[in-house]
Structure 1
């Protein structure tokens, strides 16, 4: 599903099938790389399903979809600039296929927004960051798999270092007036997400 979606999307802007295949190969290789446990192709598949569920609310689906494919393309748990590097990677790739400049800038801005998940004046950005957090509102079994996989990505750190940092992140979300920025996702996941976050904090 992902490869087909990306190929169709890129095909709207370039007829160079070899280039499209090369771009997909790079994306696939990154998301299946060693050390990835949560930020994988499965994560992208889940986000795609969430985006499809709210497609009627999205103004610029192509920019949002490219943001999906590139938002975690560069990921290292110990790095502080994953989003910036991912955005830069997207800019280079999308420039190469002739994606319009204003759309490239929007795609880049969406990727950068996943760093803080702050409220944006752009509704598409809010919808995307909400899909990125949708796992927080899943059932407890899925949520447990999620936080255990995140822990694996930070396996370099012992519990006494990891747990306080993880707790700080969870409390950050709980202290927000709304975890989800859009009414669509707030209605769908807000209550369950808060329950899951509190439950994980109790475990830490």
Structure 2
């Protein structure tokens, strides 16, 4: 399965949702001092299907399908026990919020940590964030500048409407940086390209 995941994350339509994104999340998890098999599996599988044209929630639901087929194929009791929780984590990325109902083996703090890891690029330095925003634009290159500007602005405004972008404790500084980065991108999107 490792080779298949590497192939998937190396597909030509990907510029941000690549192995680099997975490595970034895994490093951040390690820096948090949290060895968590459920979160690690969710990191590996959460974007394994990525088609910018079909978009969300199709990508997430297909990623869950791929993960569940893999989990079933292992015929492992351990993997069977993780299946519902990993699927719930991937599904939570559709709306990037805590689900109303959690599987028995999954805590709200685990969901918050996973979602925060996925969103942590938003709180990076302005230079890193700008690279990320260019990579996202490349993934949506099939759209005209105007269509992309309108669609991306809507997504970014949606982030700003949330009371909290990050759900875990001690994320106030990340929250502020993310909001500054997002507002900066929105401003840049409003400037017509020449």
If the TM-score is normalised by the length of the shorter chain, which range does it land in?
A: 0.7 to 0.9
Q: State yes or no: 1:116 paired with 2:102.
A: no
- Count of equivalent residues: 178
Q: State yes or no: 1:199 paired with 2:184.
A: yes
In structure 1, runs of 5+ residues without a counterpart are: 1-22
- Secondary structure of the corresponding residue to residue 142 of structure 2: coil
Q: Following TM superposition, by how much is the alpha carbon of 1:160 offset from its aligned partner in structure 2, in angstroms?
A: 1.0
- Secondary structure of the corresponding residue to residue 165 of structure 1: helix
Q: Following TM superposition, by how much is the alpha carbon of 1:156 offset from its aligned partner in structure 2, in angstroms?
A: 0.3
Inter-partner Cα distance in structure 2 for 1:102 and 1:123 = 19
Taking only aligned residues, the RMSD between alpha carbons, in angstroms, comes to 1.3
- Secondary structure of the corresponding residue to residue 73 of structure 1: coil
Inter-partner Cα distance in structure 2 for 1:188 and 1:66 = 28
In structure 2, runs of 5+ residues without a counterpart are: 103-107, 190-194
TM-score (norm 2): 0.88
Give the helix-richer structure, 1 or 2: 1
- Secondary structure of the corresponding residue to residue 14 of structure 2: coil
Inter-partner Cα distance in structure 2 for 1:169 and 1:69 = 24
TM-score (norm 1): 0.83
Structure 1 residues 62 and 82: CA distance shift in structure 2, 3 A = same
Q: Following TM superposition, by how much is the alpha carbon of 1:193 offset from its aligned partner in structure 2, in angstroms?
A: 0.3
- Which residue in the other structure is 2:167 paired with? 181
Q: State yes or no: 1:71 paired with 2:57.
A: no
**2:24 pairs with one of 36, 42, 46:** 46
Inter-partner Cα distance in structure 1 for 2:19 and 2:140 = 18
**1:86 pairs with one of 42, 63, 71:** 63
